[in-house]
Structure 1
Amino acid sequence: MSRPLLAVAAVALLWSLVPVGAFGQAAPDPLVSIMPEAQAAAGVVDAFHAALDAGDTDAALALMAEDVMVLEEGAAERSRDEYASHHLGADAAYAAASVSTVTRRSGSAAGNTAWILTEGTTTGQAGNSATSRLTVETMVLARGSDGWRIKHIHWSSRAAPAA
C-alpha cells in the first residue's frame, strides 16, 4: 500500500472509532440509525468533515473517488479534480468558520455501496455575514481495495427559522 493510501486508511480507521455523528458538535441525543455494515463508511464521512474543518484539503480529497460527483448550490462538479479546483477551498474555509451539529443521521450498505444521510444545522460566518442554516447531506460511498471512498455528495441548505 502506498504511503498516501496508508495515511488515508489510518485516518479512516481512527475516525471509524469516533461515535457516528461526531463531526462538528453532536446534538443532544441525535437520532442516529447507522446499520452495522455502514459504520466504517460513516467513519469516512466523519473523517472527510474533520479534514475540511481542519483545512486539510489533501486529506479530504484522499477520501473521495476520482470520479466523485458533487452536487451543491445547483451546480455539479463531476470529478475530484473539478471539485478541488472549484468549491473545495471555499468549503474548507466555511467549515473552519462555522459549527455543524448533526440532528439526525441514517445509513446503510448493500454489498460495496453505502449511503449516509445527515440532517443538521450550521452556524457561522459566510463572508461578512453571520449565517444559520438547516442542512441536509447525502453521501454515497463505494468500497474498493483501498476501503470506502466517497462517490457522490449532495448538499443543500436553507435559512434556519428565526429564533
Structure 2
Amino acid sequence: MKKIYLLSIILFPLLLTNSVNAHDKTHNDTSNSPMYTGLDSDAGIIAKQFHKALSEANAETVMSLLADDVLILEGSRIERSADEYRAHHLQADMQFSSAVTTKTIEHHVRVHGNTAVSISRSHTSGNYNGRDIDRTGNETLFLTLINGQWKISHIHWSH
C-alpha cells in the first residue's frame, strides 16, 4: 500500500501537461469547492505559507519551511538539500514568483499520520525576463512532521 501511495505521488504530476512552476501568489482557497480540500489542515497552512513566502521574496520564511534534506525536482534539475536550494535556485524562484501572477486552479492536501501530500495545479501569467508567461503548472509537496512541525521534505514542479 505504501509503495502504491508513493508511486501515485510521484506519477500524478507527470499525468498533467502544459505546466509551469507553481509558485503561487494568489492561493484561492474556496472551502466549499471540491477543487480545494485539506487546505485548513496544519500541513495545508504550511503549503500556503510556502507559496506566499516565495511570492513575497521572503527567503527566511521559505527556508524555515523546508526540511534540511529536502529533495527538489524541477525539469532536469535536482537539489538535494535546503542549503543547495538556497545556493542555486531560491533567488531565481522568488524573482519569478514575485514577477508573475499565479492563480490556483485546484489544490488538495491529504494528511496521513506524520506525512502529508499537497497536490496543486495553477495558472501563471505575466512577463518574466522579457518573456511572456501564460501556462498551467503542477506541484507536488510532500510534508513530514519533524519535531512537532510540518516541514516540506520533497517538491516536484512540472512545467
TM-score (norm 1): 0.76
Among 72, 75, 78, which residue is 2:74 paired with? 72
1:33 paired residue number: 37
Match of 2:16 in 1: none
Q: By percentage of residues, which structure has more strand?
A: 1
C-alpha deviation, 1:105, in angstroms: 1.2
Residue segments in structure 2 that go unaligned for 5+ positions in a row: 1-23
Q: Which amino acid aligns with 1:91?
A: D
Q: Percent identity?
A: 31
Aligned structure 1 segments of 4 or more residues deviating by more than 4 angstroms: 27-30
Distance 1:82 1:133, change over 3 A: same
Q: Which residue in the other structure is 1:9 paired with?
A: none
Deviations 1:73-114 (A, max 9, x none): 211100000011111000000010011111111121111000
Corresponding position of 2:114: 112
3-state DSSP of counterpart to 2:85: helix
Match of 2:123 in 1: 121
Greater RCO (Cα-Cα under 8 Å, separation 6 or more): 2
Could you list the runs of 5+ residues in structure 1 that have no partner in the other structure? 1-21, 158-163
Matches within 5 A, 1:12-91: 23-26=25-28, 31-34=35-38, 39-91=41-93
Q: How many residues align?
A: 134
TM-score, normalised to structure 2, is 0.78
Using the TM superposition, give the Cα deviation of residue 137 of structure 1 relative to its aligned residue in structure 2, in angstroms.
0.2
